[in-house]
Structure 1
């Protein structure tokens, strides 16, 4: 059997962007962390463009030059800096191809990319340089060092820049109050005037905002007056007009080419991506082609000049991530990258079944259920296999059918994998997502109990060998499941999880606290409730062995969450294995660390399960 290291060496190619000359720049994990690579032709050998030990988080090509901007932090601290990268085919050999754009020495801050101007002379970003708890909007030239960065708007919350207007005179700015409540503004760069485009009451989402090609409005995905996200046009006077509506599924992504009006929108259909390309004209979408996608998840559209083609990332349960180019007229796709599967045969990967199970209140909970091939062929004869209940983070997120190398290893190693989208998950309507808000938090944990009950009736599964596994908010769900329903579990794996909501909110990045309080409850108003649902306060109930994994630089869920829950569980006599990486943040990004972490997790599960 191939070992865990082989599976963790399966590569990903993603985040493609097309230069004016048609070169594809993208991120790939060949070196162990994502770096920038490029291709001039499909399925040829790519050229590596960046050479760092840290992960590159994105790359986006200039609209007018053979160059791009990329972002990178240090050790997972999420204080991303921006850099310009020369992508010319014949660069100056004496010049460094990488130019720092936001290097302010000791003044470390977060920089959130906001897009190129159409003439390629400037770019926009949001940053908390002035006040760590708030984001301001900046516009800067493409020169070195950031000395010409101009503060164009002072914010007092979580601001994101969503791009320049077609004539480069304005920006669209989003302000988030929570994951399910945003506002959009038009920021005039000459006057500094900020026009509020989306006044509303209650929580309303305005996502994937982009300017209309005529500059007279903005397109966005919104759930205003609806349970599902739909595509809408918002005029500069605030008039909102639906453009594409779907009562069953969310319209969850949009990309528009300002020169041609060509557009692509995506729908999330039970987790799978459905992609449509056409033309936008005011409040009308003239539909062209359904894109012929491999079954799975796709996104990250980047149009080439003239919008005859666009690139996007495609992945599926049995397909590692690769970048494809799509012909707009025909809807046909061509894979450009060939990210290696490290010698693991593609045909050995397992496709999950999409199932639904009934929870405590009769609600149907969707989940992906994968069974090892040998167990699936057994027809109920013989002993069942252990099963890993893998719970996504967020909580405003969704487990979707993308490639997950660790899952495929577990399946080949004899574990079934169950991935529920418990109440509170996105993708199934706004009402479903709010079913776990604040005082209803533990209802989502009860959905996990119902999942184990459902699994106990599956002939392929051994109900005495069930593992709770999850990261971030999913780590909280693991700890809560172990304390609320201790007799169900053979082991638990908590990756960068929340153990104590009070200390989590007190110590998380100041720029995130208000957003998180909107979901979990506030320290001022809900402290007693937050203490009541924090697993650290009921840790004496835990019976199952526990593995705790964290990064010391985590700005989201501080490492103190791991240390306190590991210590408390040990005091109760629970077998605990604790692993903290000093050079990681919210997760484990570096290949060497991933190999160590998941090798130890596999050994831990083999010993106890």
Structure 2
């Protein structure tokens, strides 16, 4: 069965679930070509579309008390998200913020559903302040509760709605947590520390006297901990061990929680109920397909939760896991005080798919699962990678696409990708390395590419290409390097550092010049990026020395470049300057700039347009 690219790019995704107070499930789905809000009333019942915009919706969150939800949307990928309230009964949509010059970062509903909170850079573009406003008020009525001086976001309302959890990010790996009293405006620092420490996925505990969070304080990997808000003591709840505990979701009323462990890129999900401050009554492991799961949303009674599920051979859908009734708060307190131990639940943890995002008629059994491999780099470091071979490969004749993730503080995980499956169906192998600097493998591994060690990660790419060249099925003369954002930099760096290794390069929203990138990126994120790459003040010469634009004369391989005109992270000038420089040296270059896109391609019609040309480009040159 031969299926064209457009069909593969029409495989749908349903994700970002939120369970309403009456049990209705809201989620995002890209049926129309951009992610919109949809709802269903039961498992695989007919979905109802709730928003009808050309732009993608960023999230949807039900009110805890009323049939209404808040969602976000930007314009043309500019990332200046605005908040809107949707009345689920009437379908009416009302703008809550209407400040298109500012970014708005959702902070959650109050528990009584009367107010919302958000962080925004309205006052000054490089900093975020904290705002609270009534559920039906406009942005002009928002109360400025706290003026920030850095990158602030919110972690939700306390159980009594008297405090907000505030997160300040100094770098991607260094955060501080604060409690903001809404009556007095007092900001209490909860996590004073000297060295770099990650604090994320923080949840208020059932009594509001503690936080349950994920951290790597005094450890290489992330673990689940309880932070006492009075004593500031941090107690371990679940050890990290060899793998990160990468997220936790806690229902305040019931003490039910779910946490995930990232095991070589795959999700291990554990569900339970707090039995005292740091003990968990574990429930049966949910029966979920795909290998990756996240984004937990609890029902009102915490007897079920919704979660997004995906896998390399499993397109993205929302499942609901049934976990049974919980004891009342009074009963929990009574048993805790007398030290009683409850038996583990006998509920099965069975899951049911609630959404049916289609595979566009492509048989699921045609999708290819990757093999997890490890290869040795120049200094002996073992680099993990996912390697996928097409069906029935010919020895020594298989072209390969080396696909590099962005970030760099990120990790390639085996989620579904229609584009990846298309390339596999066309006879390409796909190689996805998690080079040094990737998350998921501990703090030490993540810092192996910082600032002056930047090019060591590019050497990891070379080592991966060397591994491929020795593989029995691979044609070493037809290895393509492809990536987006920081992965786009890796493409350009690979082409300039090792020009004879590659048959072609595909760069999407990539960094060509670290100096102009840092000068022109959004002011709110410059400080965080300098912590990773180096500062303009102290490291300018080094940044110039590693910028691909300054070595464009070395490029030999044909180059395809994709960029969004509204990109606030990596401005479009990065694409324009590397395209011009490569062309000046006689390199075949294709440049596609999309006027209604930002940092990547969010609209299906643009993805189809761009990757149809990429396929033709690779057919010609590879």
Q: 1:269 aligns with which of 244, 263, 266?
A: 263
Map of 2:17 onto structure 1 = 16
Q: 1:443 aligns with which of 452, 456, 460?
A: 456
Map of 1:202 onto structure 2 = 195
Kindly state the Cα deviation for residue 275 of structure 1 after the two structures are TM-superposed: 0.5
Matches within 5 A, 1:449-598: 449-598=462-611
Question: Helix, strand or coil for the counterpart of 1:147?
Answer: helix
Matches within 5 A, 1:153-172: 153-172=146-165
Matches within 5 A, 1:130-529: 130-237=123-230, 238-280=232-274, 281-328=276-323, 329-375=347-393, 378=394, 380=395, 383-529=396-542
Deviation track 1:437-465 (CA, whole Å, cap 9, x = no partner) reads: 00000000000000000001111110000
CA contact (8 A) 1:244 1:285 kept: no
Deviation track 1:492-524 (CA, whole Å, cap 9, x = no partner) reads: 000000000000000000000000000000000
CA contact (8 A) 1:552 1:584 kept: yes
- Aligned-partner Cα distance in 1 for 2:273–2:141: 37
Map of 2:36 onto structure 1 = 35
Runs of 4+ in 1 over 3 A off after TM superposition: none
TM-score by length of 1: 0.97
Q: Name the Cα RMSD after superposition.
A: 0.9
Map of 1:97 onto structure 2 = 92
Structure 2 residue runs without a partner (length 5+): 324-346
Map of 1:51 onto structure 2 = 52
Question: Helix, strand or coil for the counterpart of 1:159?
Answer: strand
- Aligned-partner Cα distance in 1 for 2:308–2:237: 25
Kindly state the Cα deviation for residue 284 of structure 1 after the two structures are TM-superposed: 2.5
Kindly state the Cα deviation for residue 108 of structure 1 after the two structures are TM-superposed: 1.7
Matches within 5 A, 1:107-146: 108-146=101-139
Deviation track 1:90-138 (CA, whole Å, cap 9, x = no partner) reads: x3xxxx511110013xx52100001110000001100000000000001
- Aligned-partner Cα distance in 2 for 1:148–1:185: 25
Map of 2:61 onto structure 1 = 60
Kindly state the Cα deviation for residue 210 of structure 1 after the two structures are TM-superposed: 1.1
Structure 1 residue runs without a partner (length 5+): none
Question: Helix, strand or coil for the counterpart of 1:342?
Answer: coil
CA contact (8 A) 2:290 2:314 kept: no
Map of 2:326 onto structure 1 = none
Map of 2:333 onto structure 1 = none
Question: Helix, strand or coil for the counterpart of 1:321?
Answer: strand
Question: Helix, strand or coil for the counterpart of 2:460?
Answer: helix
TM-score by length of 2: 0.95
Deviation track 1:62-114 (CA, whole Å, cap 9, x = no partner) reads: 100111100000000000000011223xx3xxxx511110013xx52100001
- Aligned-partner Cα distance in 2 for 1:484–1:71: 41
CA contact (8 A) 1:309 1:327 kept: yes
- Aligned-partner Cα distance in 1 for 2:456–2:87: 51
- Aligned-partner Cα distance in 2 for 1:198–1:17: 30
Question: Helix, strand or coil for the counterpart of 1:566?
Answer: helix
- Aligned-partner Cα distance in 1 for 2:68–2:264: 38
Kindly state the Cα deviation for residue 45 of structure 1 after the two structures are TM-superposed: 1.4
- Aligned-partner Cα distance in 2 for 1:343–1:516: 42
Kindly state the Cα deviation for residue 296 of structure 1 after the two structures are TM-superposed: 1.7
- Aligned-partner Cα distance in 2 for 1:409–1:315: 17
Kindly state the Cα deviation for residue 287 of structure 1 after the two structures are TM-superposed: 2.0
- Aligned-partner Cα distance in 1 for 2:195–2:452: 18
Map of 2:344 onto structure 1 = none
Question: Helix, strand or coil for the counterpart of 1:139?
Answer: strand
CA contact (8 A) 1:384 1:459 kept: no
- Aligned-partner Cα distance in 1 for 2:406–2:356: 29
- Aligned-partner Cα distance in 2 for 1:551–1:279: 45
Deviation track 1:206-244 (CA, whole Å, cap 9, x = no partner) reads: 010111111001111000000000011111132111111
Kindly state the Cα deviation for residue 294 of structure 1 after the two structures are TM-superposed: 1.3
Kindly state the Cα deviation for residue 331 of structure 1 after the two structures are TM-superposed: 1.6
**Count of aligned residue pairs for this structure pair:** 596
Question: Helix, strand or coil for the counterpart of 2:427?
Answer: coil
